[in-house]
Amino acid sequence: MRLTFVASTGLPIPRPNRMPTGYYVYISTPYGQYSTFEASAMDDCSVSWNETLTIHERPQTLFKRLMSIFKSEAVRLEIRASYESKPTLDQSEVVCAFDTTFKQLLAEDGPPKLHSDVGDKRVSLELKAGDTHEKNVVIFGETGSGKSSTINTIAQKQVAKTSNDAVGCTTKPKRYSVDIFGQNFALFDTAGLNEGTKGEVPQKQAKEQLNRLLKERMRHKLPLDGIDLLVYCVYNTTSSRAILNTYNAVYSGIYRKKRVPIVVIVTGLESATSMESWWDNHKETFKDMHLAGHACVTTVQEYAGIPPDHTDRVAQSSETLRNLIMNTCSVPVVDDNLPAGTCLPCGQWTEW
């Protein structure tokens, strides 16, 4: 769990005749102890930290059924006044303490603003909490559909290599760690489909690579090792038949049975009158698909001389994609009847 300490207000001065050199937060959990850096109090008796600590990383062997035990574990936070540079615990004084749990800190509506009464003052501690485990997102689609550019748009920076050529630039699955609103995501870029036999990755090889990646991600019982979301990238000029064939080939068998969510991202709409209008004009193509959501975007990166309206669409697309991933990504359902390590069958490829 990542805990970001934002600020504290109402801090008392423990010793009236001596000002502390600063304040810091000391955190104690069943898994270890942690401290923020020391910060000076301002005239209004407040402190600003803006420091993020990894308070606890869930063990990779922890099963989902044990999560309730983890979340009930107690967490104690103390604001301490220090009088020495780099103080030890016996060289600082506890100003106030807050007792909470991991469950409270990871609440869906955000961690509470903690309060503690000290004399005639009410001390508050503002913080933000986020899950440290990465959610796994596999991105697939035809060559030139903008998969790598989609990753860069989500990451809001250049992390994946891109190409303007018809020949794909991703030759094998690549993993990128991306932060979205404080949550860690692992985005898997894959080789483009339907590239033909003369491309960087022939069609047969691209299908085998994607098939192998999906099977490896789905073969574990542990939710941390599965697939949290499938993202199908479609370029706006792709034919309806090609879209349906790719969807039916990939999202079949175990993926639909296990209720792995899938979304469609339509790219290349920077010059459209309205990006979302593309969906209104083509939604019949997707009517029989089991989609958790969709987005109509541009994945063009900003460049010198980019038209102002394109700049606005780039920013809008980034926000749309980040919200889509955040809102549709979920822990996959795991079949508890299978022995640990069982390799689940993968969907059968159809001819396209």
Give the per-residue pLDDT at 182: 76
Closest CA to 140 of 195, 190, 214, 207: 190
Give pLDDT, residue 124. 93
11 near 95, Cβ under 8 Å? Answer: yes
- Residue 329 in tokens: 């990504």
φ/ψ of residue 263, rounded to 5: -125, 160
The pLDDT assigned to 331 comes to 39
Local structure of 136: helix, strand or coil: strand
CA distance 45 to 11: 5
Strands in 262-267's sheet, in edge-to-edge order, are 174-180, 183-189, 135-141, 229-235, 262-267, 293-296
pLDDT digits (tens, 9 = 90+) for 50-104: 887 877 544 444 444 444 444 567 899 999 988 876 656 777 889 899 998 888 8
Predicted pLDDT of residue 301: 82
d(CA 53, CA 25): 11
305 CB-contact burial (10 Å; exposed 0-12 / middle 13-18 / buried 19+): exposed
pLDDT digits 0-9 by tens, 18-40: 788 889 999 998 878 889 888 88
Which pair of tokens denotes residue 323? 């919200």
Distance CA 350, CA 344 (A): 19
Whole-angstrom Cα distance, residue 297 to residue 274?
Answer: 10
- The stretches in the chain having pLDDT less than 70 are 56-72, 85-88, 108-110, 131-132, 163-171, 195-201, 219-225, 252-255, 257, 330-352
**Residue environment code for 107-125, b if the CB has 16+ CB neighbours within 10 A, otherwise e:** eeeebeebebebeeeebbb
- The confidence score (pLDDT) of residue 334 equals 35
Domains of the chain as residue ranges with CATH? 2-130 (2.60.40.150), 135-328 (3.40.50.300)
d(CA 33, CA 17): 31
Give the pLDDT confidence score for residue 318 in this predicted structure. 94
Confidence (pTM): 0.60
pLDDT at 160: 85
* pLDDT for the residue 132: 64
Beta pairing partners, 28: 33, 76
Q: How many other β-carbons are positioned within 10 Å of the β-carbon of residue 11? A: 23
Kindly provide the b/e burial profile for residues 135-166, where b requires at least 16 CB atoms within 10 angstroms of the residue's own CB. bbbbbbbbbbbbbbbbbbbbbbeebbebeeee
Neighbours of 175 (CB within 10 A): 12
Closest CA to 98 of 65, 128, 71, 125: 125
